[in-house]
Amino acid sequence: MIVTIDRLGHLGDGVGQGPDGPVFATGMLPGEVVEGELQGDRLQNPRILTPSATRVKPPCAHARACGGCLLQHASDAFVADWKMGVVKSALDLQGISTLYRPILTSPPRSRRRATLAGRRTKGGVLLGFHARASDTLVPVPACQLLHPDLLAAFPALEALVKIAATRTAEASLTITRSLAGPDVVVKDAKPVDAATQLDLARLSEAHGLARLTWNGETVALRAQPMQRMGTALVAPPPGAFLQATEQGEQALLQAVALAIGPARRVTDLFSGCGTFSLPLATRADVHAVEGDAAMTAALDKAARATPGLHRVTVETRDLFRRPLLPDEFKGTDAVVIDPPRAGAEAQTQALAEARVPVIAMVSCNPVTFARDAKVLVNAGYSLDWVQVVDQFRWSSHVELAARFSR
Ligand SMILES: C[S@@+](CC[C@H](N)C(=O)[O-])C[C@H]1O[C@@H](n2cnc3c(N)ncnc32)[C@H](O)[C@@H]1O
């Protein structure tokens, strides 16, 4: 059948109107006329009859096979408009209008953290990303997403796959760029005995890994895998959350700093290891609250070791079950809140009651952001502006920072 694509779905598929409802076509763009065989609600092997003017040649040689990037066939301008549109639609649905600052997109080859999969083969090992919705592993030596330091660590990862995986059982390898070299977390790996642990330590040394964590246990620590956060140096626990690119982190931080202005007493909710807390502590007292005790410990240690910071206090607390209560915001000039994808409905309700003058909200999910924004707007806040930040270029992920005031 022939379909005209009229929009992108939330996972980046082209969507057109079929006889019985929406029809999805992978890799297609709005305005394109495509032909393919309809199976269920999906057009199989779609062929483009009329291409879109926004279609470009994918910059990565692996784009066709690899499931890591879904939008390499679209121009940067198209993706930027689309991501801005996703945020705007979510807010429109809640009846909220605001000012949109121009999107800030991280450059290619800037991802400082990625999870790859590895498996043994007859002749060696296979390391890469999965093809879309598939068990097939695609090697990605020329990946245009990953920071060159991550690509340079592929030989180390391949050596680890040899020990971790079998021909039928895959291992997962998360690699994070740190100031001391790659910080690697291997999961779903074969258990290792004492002799193999020694091999892993030697391998880490030979390849300059900062830290190697194997099925939850740190088996080699050559150097603390430090991250710079403002003037502080933090050693995050293995696998801890970190913004995906340095540029994205800076864009979010600048937006947060702009949002809270000259606030002197700041509460940072879902603080992680201190991405916002530590830079803000150069000019304000900060109370950081986070659910993961290892992360609050890392933040606390870094704050204590850094001269010249204002007062930094940390609290480990499950903010879904025990949100900070309105009374606990007494004396707070500004709140930074950066919840996981589910958003922070209960915490936002309490915030709305607390009437803190300024709130900087960071979000990786426009739908839960818009839901939580509505709670604040209903309580008398205005949404002053939204800054969309794209640190997951060529994917359908959208992130943003926003300022609320009352
Ligand atoms: C999107 S990350 C943001 C972290 C930090 N603001 C940053 O930029 O690095 C969300 C954080 O929320 C934490 N978190 C998840 N669920 C939580 C909960 N129920 N209570 C408190 N913190 C939680 C995670 O551990 C993670 O550090």
Give the tens place of pLDDT for each residue, 82-116: 999 999 999 999 999 999 999 999 999 999 999 99
Q: Which residue owns the Cα nearest ligand 1 atom 27?
A: 272
Residue 40 backbone dihedrals phi, psi, to 5 degrees: 65, -125
Q: What mean pLDDT do residues 169-179 have?
A: 98
> Could you tell me the pLDDT band of residue 57, with boundaries at 50, 70 and 90?
very high
> Could you tell me the pLDDT band of residue 11, with boundaries at 50, 70 and 90?
confident
Residue 10: predicted pLDDT: 85
Query: Hey, which of 228, 234, 241 would you mutate to test ligand 1's pocket, going by the most ligand atoms within 8 Å of its Cβ?
Result: 241
Per-residue pLDDT reduced to its tens digit, 268-311 = 999 999 999 999 999 999 999 999 999 999 999 999 999 999 99
Q: Is the CB of 275 under 6 A from ligand 1?
A: yes
Residue 369: predicted pLDDT: 98
Residue 291: predicted pLDDT: 98
Looking at ligand 1, which atom is closest to the CA of residue 321? 19
Share above pLDDT 70 across residues of the chain, in percent, rounded to a whole number:
100
pLDDT at 133 over 90: no
CA of 296 to the centre of ligand 1 (A): 10
Q: Give the residues across from 4 on adjacent strands.
A: 33
Query: Hey, which of 242, 246, 270, 399 would you mutate to test ligand 1's pocket, going by the most ligand atoms within 8 Å of its Cβ?
Result: 270
Predicted structure pTM score: 0.96
CA 140 to chain centre: 20
CA of 339 to the centre of ligand 1 (A): 5
CA of 243 to the centre of ligand 1 (A): 11
Mean pLDDT of the chain: 97
Q: Decide: 273 and 293 in contact? Cβ < 8 Å.
A: no
Residue 245: predicted pLDDT: 98
> Could you tell me the pLDDT band of residue 347, with boundaries at 50, 70 and 90?
very high
- What is the rounded CA–CA span in Å between residue 115 and residue 42? 28
Q: What mean pLDDT do residues 50-63 have?
A: 96
The CA-atom distances, in angstroms, between 103 and each of 61, 168, 283, 353 are 26, 43, 27, 31
Q: What mean pLDDT do residues 1-30 have?
A: 94
Q: What mean pLDDT do residues 206-215 have?
A: 98
Q: What mean pLDDT do residues 148-164 have?
A: 98
Rg, C-alpha atoms of the chain: 23
Give the list of residues 6+ apart from residue 156 with CB closer than 8 angstroms, or none: 182, 184, 203, 204, 207, 208, 209
Share above pLDDT 90 across residues of the chain, in percent, rounded to a whole number:
97
Q: Is the CB of 271 under 6 A from ligand 1?
A: yes
